[in-house]
Amino acid sequence: MSVKRKISVRKIIQAMLTLVLAGVCITAVLSATRQQRNRTLNDVDIRITNKQYGFVTEKEIKQTLLRDGEIKTGVTKLSELNVRQMEKVVSGNPWIEDAQVYLDNRQQLHALVIQRAPVVRIFEKDGNSYYLDRKMEALPLSPKYNYYTTVVTNVPELKADSMSNALKAQIMALAQFIRRDTFWNAQVSQVIVRDDMQFEIVPVLGEHQIILGDTTDMQLKFDNLFAFYTNVLNEVGWEKYKVLDLSYKGQLVASPALNWKLPVDKVINRINWVSSITGETPKPKTAAPVKPTPGTTTAPVTTSAHPLDVKTETPVKATPEKNIQVELPVRLNEAPKQKTEPAKALKKPAARPQKKATEPKQEKPKEEKKQEDKKPKYIYGGE
pLDDT digits (tens, 9 = 90+) for 39-65: 888 899 999 999 999 999 999 999 999
**What's the pLDDT at 26?**
87
Is position 13 within any domain?
no
Is position 19 within any domain?
no
**What's the pLDDT at 301?**
37
Q: Tell me: pLDDT of 343 over 50.
A: no
376-381 contact pairs (CB < 8 A, 24+): 376/322, 376/323, 377/322, 377/323, 377/324, 377/325, 378/322, 378/324, 378/325, 379/325, 379/327, 380/324, 380/325, 380/326, 380/327, 381/269, 381/327
Q: What is the number of domains present in the chain?
A: 3
Confidence of residue 273 (pLDDT cuts 50, 70, 90): very low
Hey, which of 142-156, 244-258, 317-331 has the most confident mean pLDDT?
142-156
Identify which has the larger pLDDT, 149 or 309. Answer: 149
CATH number at residue 71: 3.10.20.310
User: What's the pLDDT tens digit per position in 120-146?
Assistant: 999 999 989 999 999 999 999 999 899
| Residue type at 160 in one-letter notation | A
Contacts of 285 (CB under 8 A, 6+ apart): 267, 268, 328, 329, 383
Hey, which of 183-197, 278-292, 305-319 has the most confident mean pLDDT?
183-197
Q: Tell me: pLDDT of 225 over 50.
A: yes
Helices (H) and strands (E) in the chain, counts: 9, 17
Co-location of 256 and 124 in the same domain: yes
Co-location of 165 and 251 in the same domain: yes
Co-location of 254 and 302 in the same domain: no
Confidence of residue 37 (pLDDT cuts 50, 70, 90): low
Is position 26 within any domain?
no
Identify which has the larger pLDDT, 316 or 71. Answer: 71
For 183, half-sphere exposure in the C-beta direction (CA atoms, 13 angstrom radius) is: 7
Co-location of 87 and 135 in the same domain: no
| Contact in structure between 271 and 262 (CB atoms under 8 Å) | yes
Strands 188-193 and 199-203: antiparallel
- Low-confidence winner among 215-229, 320-334, 349-363 (lowest mean pLDDT): 320-334
Co-location of 129 and 82 in the same domain: no
Alpha carbon distance 261, 264 (integer Å)? 8
Structural domain boundaries, residue 136: 118-260
**What's the pLDDT at 5?**
61
Alpha carbon distance 62, 307 (integer Å)? 71
| Contact in structure between 50 and 115 (CB atoms under 8 Å) | yes
**312: phi then psi, degrees, rounded to nearest 5:** -135, 160
Alpha carbon distance 193, 349 (integer Å)? 82
Q: Tell me: pLDDT of 21 over 70.
A: yes
CATH number at residue 235: 3.40.50.11690
Co-location of 123 and 208 in the same domain: yes
**What's the pLDDT at 336?**
45
Is position 36 within any domain?
no
**What's the pLDDT at 329?**
38
Co-location of 195 and 320 in the same domain: no
| Contact in structure between 197 and 167 (CB atoms under 8 Å) | yes
Full DSSP string of 84-136: HHHHHHHHTSTTEEEEEEEE-TTSEEEEEEEE--EEEEEEETTS-EEEEETTS
Is position 28 within any domain?
no
Residues 249-268, mean pLDDT to the nearest whole number: 69
From the list 168, 137, 135, the residue with the least C-alpha distance to 152 is: 168
Is position 25 within any domain?
no
Co-location of 149 and 245 in the same domain: yes
User: What's the pLDDT tens digit per position in 160-212?
Assistant: 889 999 999 999 999 999 999 999 999 999 999 999 999 999 999 888 999 99
Q: Tell me: pLDDT of 341 over 50.
A: no
Residues 147-163, mean pLDDT to the nearest whole number: 92
Which of residues 115, 131, 149 is at a domain's end? Answer: 115
Co-location of 244 and 310 in the same domain: no
Q: Tell me: pLDDT of 32 over 50.
A: yes
Co-location of 131 and 63 in the same domain: no
Percentage above 70 pLDDT, the chain: 64
Confidence of residue 321 (pLDDT cuts 50, 70, 90): very low
Co-location of 223 and 202 in the same domain: yes
Co-location of 187 and 213 in the same domain: yes
CA 110 to chain centre: 41
Q: Tell me: pLDDT of 376 over 90.
A: no
Q: What is the rounded average pLDDT for all residues in the chain?
A: 74
Confidence of residue 363 (pLDDT cuts 50, 70, 90): low
- Low-confidence winner among 8-17, 76-85, 147-156, 240-249 (lowest mean pLDDT): 8-17
Which of residues 115, 134, 166 is at a domain's end? Answer: 115
Is position 215 within any domain?
yes
**What's the pLDDT at 36?**
63
Which of residues 206, 236, 260 is at a domain's end? Answer: 260
Is position 324 within any domain?
yes
- Low-confidence winner among 93-102, 163-172, 282-291 (lowest mean pLDDT): 282-291
